């Protein structure tokens, strides 16, 4: 029998097909009335990093335990792959789901901060507020400067107010002038002036 070179064996191993996933079957199982079937489908989808598939089902899942399992699976997948489809759910009218999504995004770490920051350009002021409110959870040295940009540029007073709250926690003394400029920009909004004075006193 002719000898088979090790390099040839290695090449054959590399050529073998990797495990594949039947997305249609998993999607079907996620809709099953049987809880155990849905749990198994969630675990399989998570194993293959199917964040979009899991997120699509998240909006439809009514069982609180399975919803938590879905969110935990998405945290394990992590990164931009999981963050992007989750961010799309921030626009949901389901307050409970939205709050769960926010908590999940906050637990994903600084890696997803750029995805959150991108929402500061969203036309929906509510989505911008959610994004600002999440900033502190990432504990990034970039957060003060991101919040500073918001108070300088955002046209909505409530978005700026959320950013003022962030700067009250992590702002630097040299940011006081920008805070005061934001108060002047919304001079007809006394609550913002009050928040700015409190933040300036705290960081100045």
Pick the CATH number of 22-108 from 1.25.10.10, 3.40.50.11540, 3.40.640.10, 3.40.50.150: 1.25.10.10
Contact 136, 169 (CB under 8 A): yes
Domain boundaries, the chain: 22-108, 126-204
pLDDT at 22: 83
* Burial of residue 60, with CB atoms counted within 10 A of its CB: 0-12 exposed, 13-18 middle, 19 or more buried: exposed
The whole-angstrom separation of Cα 147 and Cα 202 is 16
Confidence (pLDDT) at 23: 85
Q: Which residues of the chain have pLDDT under 70?
A: 1-21
- Among 33, 83, 80, 26, smallest CA distance to 61 is for 33
> Cα–Cα distance between 179 and 199 in angstroms, integer?
8
Query: Which run of H or E residues covers position 10?
Result: helix 6-15
The predicted pLDDT at position 14 comes to 40
Q: What's the distance, Cα to Cα, between the start and end of the chain in Å?
A: 83
Contact assessment for residue 131 and residue 117, using Cβ atoms and an 8 Å cutoff = yes
User: In this predicted structure, what is the pLDDT of residue 10?
Assistant: 41
């Amino acid at each position: 029998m002719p000898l088979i070179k090790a390099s040839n064996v290695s090449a054959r191993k590399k050529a073998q097909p990797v495990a594949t996933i039947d997305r249609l079957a998993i999607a079907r199982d996620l809709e099953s009335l049987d809880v155990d079937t849905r749990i198994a489908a969630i675990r399989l989808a998570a194993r293959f990093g199917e964040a979009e598939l899991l997120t699509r089902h998240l909006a439809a899942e009514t069982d609180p335990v399975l919803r938590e399992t879905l969110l935990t699976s998405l945290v394990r997948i992590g990164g931009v792959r999981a963050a992007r489809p989750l961010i799309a759910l921030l626009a949901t009218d389901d307050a409970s789901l939205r709050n769960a999504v926010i908590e999940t995004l906050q637990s994903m770490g600084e890696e997803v901060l750029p995805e959150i920051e991108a929402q500061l350009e969203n036309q929906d002021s509510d989505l911008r507020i959610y994004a600002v409110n999440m900033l502190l959870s990432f504990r990034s040295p970039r957060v003060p400067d991101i919040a500073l940009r918001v108070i300088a540029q955002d046209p909505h007073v409530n978005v700026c107010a959320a950013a003022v709250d962030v700067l009250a926690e992590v702002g630097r003394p040299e940011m006081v002038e920008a805070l005061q400029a934001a108060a002047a920009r919304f001079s007809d909004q006394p609550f913002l002036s009050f928040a700015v004075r409190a933040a300036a006193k705290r960081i100045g």
